[in-house]
């Protein structure tokens, strides 16, 4: 009885295809209408058929899990419960509430940059990407259900007025550099997660900040000391920042002092919230773009918090066990970084929707999931996460992939493969790296994916060396397909890298005094 999901297949399938309202800016819209348009646009496509197939695989996984659950005895459960309790105690003892971790996230980053640079877009629903795929959308477009990772042609059906702007990555990278300079003032070892997002450890900054005079906590309304005529012109056109959002739930960073009254500058206090507000204020003054932030005792929590008052807001979770446990109580598991669509569906099948459920069901979970997953679930349920931010060391893999219109001719497939090898070899050369395992990933026109790999006795870096391996892998696949040709839509060449020897230099980047430094690690 309880291993039979009550949802129909269609309802279940929605979790994969339908509107993802996990993101901010999606509240109170007509979900049903949006979903029916999405389904209508997708139905019958190769992509849709493949998603259906993957969804059925997930359903089978869930069925298997439910069978396993049905076989669990009271004795097993009791034993597991004892272990879980022991583990919980150990984790509880390790709880560290002493660090102040901040997660910063730019609001609708790519879209906001485009709106900033093209005033006409400010009042329109718009997205950055192409008819095939959108990277992000502004908040006006989100009201129609238009979101990141949605193909543009479907977005157009949801919102016919949608303006789709092609991405300008060089511009986003430049803006990213600007905000990273500010991040560095608060934590020179901050951890960037992408162009628009980073984790910072504010602990040291706050210690120093307590002794800071007001002058160091005062920031001008614009950081541009010598505005160009173009800047002045821009100032005339708009007052300050673009009207990104009609209303913001959070706390805008520069509300307290008015421009004139305070000689064009703003004083910030010494507490965390003031420091973070100051950082967001400086970001807005420097880039005319807004950011949201979360403040918490660890990275897992800070990440969730940064989403809480998005856009243009911040949220602080106090560093007490009580506050943390209260916060986790009703938090949907899907909000936690690392729990995606599939994990959510599996947990839901067990009646687990909120993080507090994880804690209540740990004994059961420990019998159904791997040790790694379990440990993670347990930490999540207790509101635990990393309290130290460490920059990633050297990269572990490097890859290049390309999607194209159906490619069936073997000769063309080999020459494409060579192209990819050439590009990959170039990238590897740039970083002075060598590959240990060369892989070939193929996606056919039905969206089915296959990976083939070969590990080499000696690491390789040159185009010809890589191609020698990749060519063989491709040939095998073509031969295996028998008399029929491979009908490809994507080819990828992932390469796991030879880990640097002990003697090899290892560098990291850090920021200080507005400059970007390369530093040797240890």
Listed residue (398, 448, 406, 442) closest to 423, CA to CA: 398
Between CA 365 and CA 208 the distance in angstroms is 44
Instruction: Tell me the two tokens of residue 335.
Output: 């909000």
Q: Which stretch binds DNA (CB under 7 A): 71-79, 149-157, 274-282, 459-467?
A: 149-157
Q: Is 366 in the site for DNA (CB under 7 A)?
A: no
Between CA 145 and CA 139 the distance in angstroms is 10
Residue 60 Cβ, how far from DNA at the closest point, in Å?
10
Run of H or E residues at 510: strand 507-512
Run of H or E residues at 316: strand 314-316
Q: Which of 371, 484, 505, 522 binds DNA (CB under 7 A)?
A: 371
Q: Is 259 in the site for DNA (CB under 7 A)?
A: no
Q: Which of 208, 390, 454, 480 binds DNA (CB under 7 A)?
A: 454
Q: Which of 2, 30, 33, 45 binds DNA (CB under 7 A)?
A: 45
Q: Which stretch binds DNA (CB under 7 A): 41-49, 68-76, 274-282, 320-328?
A: 41-49
Q: Which residues pair with 198 in a beta bridge?
A: 104, 192
- Select 97 or 154, whichever has its Cβ closest to DNA: 154
Q: Is 337 in the site for DNA (CB under 7 A)?
A: yes
Instruction: Tell me the two tokens of residue 52.
Output: 């259906």
Quote the Cα angle for 223-228-231, to 5°.
70
- Select 150 or 268, whichever has its Cβ closest to DNA: 150
Q: Which of 14, 21, 48, 416 binds DNA (CB under 7 A)?
A: 48
Q: Which stretch binds DNA (CB under 7 A): 138-146, 151-159, 312-320, 513-521?
A: 151-159
Q: Which residues pair with 520 in a beta bridge?
A: 507
Residue 279 Cβ, how far from DNA at the closest point, in Å?
19
Q: Is 292 in the site for DNA (CB under 7 A)?
A: no
The active-site residue out of 197, 266, 274, 492 is: 197
Residue 157 contacts by C-beta under 8 Å, 6 or more apart in sequence?
37, 40, 41
Based on the residue annotation, tell me whether 197 is a catalytic residue of this protein. Answer: yes
Residue 329 contacts by C-beta under 8 Å, 6 or more apart in sequence?
354, 355, 356
Residue 97 contacts by C-beta under 8 Å, 6 or more apart in sequence?
297, 319, 320, 321, 324
Q: Which stretch binds DNA (CB under 7 A): 5-13, 201-209, 241-249, 365-373?
A: 365-373
3-state secondary structure of 428: helix
User: Would you say 444 and 490 are in contact if contact means Cβ atoms under 8 Å apart?
Assistant: no
Instruction: Tell me the two tokens of residue 97.
Output: 């509430």
Backbone angles phi, psi at 218, to 5 degrees: -110, 130
Residue 522 Cβ, how far from DNA at the closest point, in Å?
19
Q: Which of 18, 58, 293, 474 binds DNA (CB under 7 A)?
A: 58
Q: Is 398 in the site for DNA (CB under 7 A)?
A: yes
Instruction: Tell me the two tokens of residue 249.
Output: 């739930």
Residue 323 Cβ, how far from DNA at the closest point, in Å?
23
Q: Is 57 in the site for DNA (CB under 7 A)?
A: yes
Quote the Cα angle for 304-306-308, to 5°.
75
- What does the DSSP 8-state code read for residue 332? B
User: Would you say 104 and 197 are in contact if contact means Cβ atoms under 8 Å apart?
Assistant: yes
Q: Is 171 in the site for DNA (CB under 7 A)?
A: no
Peptide bond preceding 287 in cis form (omega within 30 of 0) = no
Q: Which stretch binds DNA (CB under 7 A): 169-177, 192-200, 220-228, 286-294?
A: 192-200
- Select 285 or 361, whichever has its Cβ closest to DNA: 361
Q: Is 133 in the site for DNA (CB under 7 A)?
A: yes
Residue 104 Cβ, how far from DNA at the closest point, in Å?
12
Binding map of DNA across residues 414-453, x = CB under 7 A, - = no contact? ----------------------xx-x---------xxxxx
Instruction: Tell me the two tokens of residue 1.
Output: 């009885």
**Interface residues toward DNA, by CB under 7 A:** 41-42, 45-48, 54, 57-58, 61, 131-133, 135, 149-154, 156, 193-194, 196-197, 303, 336-344, 369-373, 392, 395-403, 436-437, 439, 449-455, 489-490, 492
Residues annotated as part of the active site: 197
């Amino acid at each position: 009885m309880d291993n039979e999901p009550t949802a129909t297949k269609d309802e279940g399938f929605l979790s994969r295809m339908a509107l993802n309202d996990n993101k901010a800016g999606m509240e109170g819209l007509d979900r049903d209408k949006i979903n029916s348009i999405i389904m209508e646009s997708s139905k019958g496509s190769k992509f849709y058929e493949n998603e259906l197939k993957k969804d059925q695989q997930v359903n089978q996984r869930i069925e298997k899990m439910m069978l396993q659950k049905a076989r669990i005895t009271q004795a097993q459960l009791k034993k597991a419960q004892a272990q879980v309790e022991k583990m919980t105690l150990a984790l509880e003892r390790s709880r560290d509430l002493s660090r102040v971790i901040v997660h910063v996230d730019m609001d609708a980053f790519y879209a906001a940059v485009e709106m900033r640079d093209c005033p006409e877009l400010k009042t329109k629903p718009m997205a950055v990407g192409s008819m095939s795929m959108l990277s992000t959308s502004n908040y006006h477009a989100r009201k129609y259900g238009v979101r990141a990772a949605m193909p543009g042609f479907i977005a157009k059906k949801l919102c016919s007025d949608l303006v789709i702007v092609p991405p300008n990555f060089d511009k986003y990278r430049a803006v990213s550099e600007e905000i990273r300079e500010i991040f560095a003032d608060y934590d020179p070892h901050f951890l960037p997660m992408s162009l628009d997002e980073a984790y910072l450890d504010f602990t040291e900054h706050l210690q120093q900040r307590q002794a800071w005079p007001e002058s160091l906590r005062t920031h001008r309304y614009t950081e541009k000391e010598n505005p160009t005529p173009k800047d002045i012109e821009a100032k005339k056109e708009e007052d300050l920042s673009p009207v990104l959002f009609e209303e913001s739930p959070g706390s805008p960073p520069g509300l307290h002092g008015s421009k004139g009254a305070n000689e064009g500058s703003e004083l910030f206090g010494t507490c965390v919230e003031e420091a973070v507000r100051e950082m967001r204020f400086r970001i807005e003054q420097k880039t005319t773009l807004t950011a949201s932030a979360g403040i918490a005792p660890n990275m897992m929590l800070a990440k969730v918090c940064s989403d809480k008052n998005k856009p243009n807001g911040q949220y602080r979770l106090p560093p007490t066990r009580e506050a943390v446990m209260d916060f986790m109580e009703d938090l949907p598991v899907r909000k936690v970084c690392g729990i995606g669509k599939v994990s959510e569906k599996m947990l839901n099948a067990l009646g687990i929707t909120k993080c507090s459920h994880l804690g209540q069901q740990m004994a059961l979970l420990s019998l159904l999931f791997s040790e790694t997953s379990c440990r993670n679930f347990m930490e999540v349920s207790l509101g635990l996460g990393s309290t130290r931010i460490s920059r990633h060391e050297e990269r572990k893999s490097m890859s290049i992939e390309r999607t194209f219109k159906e490619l069936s001719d073997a000769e063309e497939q080999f020459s494409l493969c060579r192209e990819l090898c050439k590009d990959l070899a170039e990238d590897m050369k740039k970083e002075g790296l060598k590959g240990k395992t060369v892989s070939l990933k193929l996606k056919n026109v039905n969206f089915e994916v296959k990976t083939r790999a070969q590990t080499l006795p000696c690491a390789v870096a040159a185009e010809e060396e890589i191609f020698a391996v990749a060519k063989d892998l491709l040939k095998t696949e073509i031969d295996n397909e028998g008399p029929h040709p491979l009908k490809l839509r994507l080819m990828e060449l992932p390469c796991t890298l030879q880990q640097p020897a002990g003697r090899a230099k290892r560098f990291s980047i850090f920021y200080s005094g507005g400059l970007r430094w390369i530093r040797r690690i240890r």
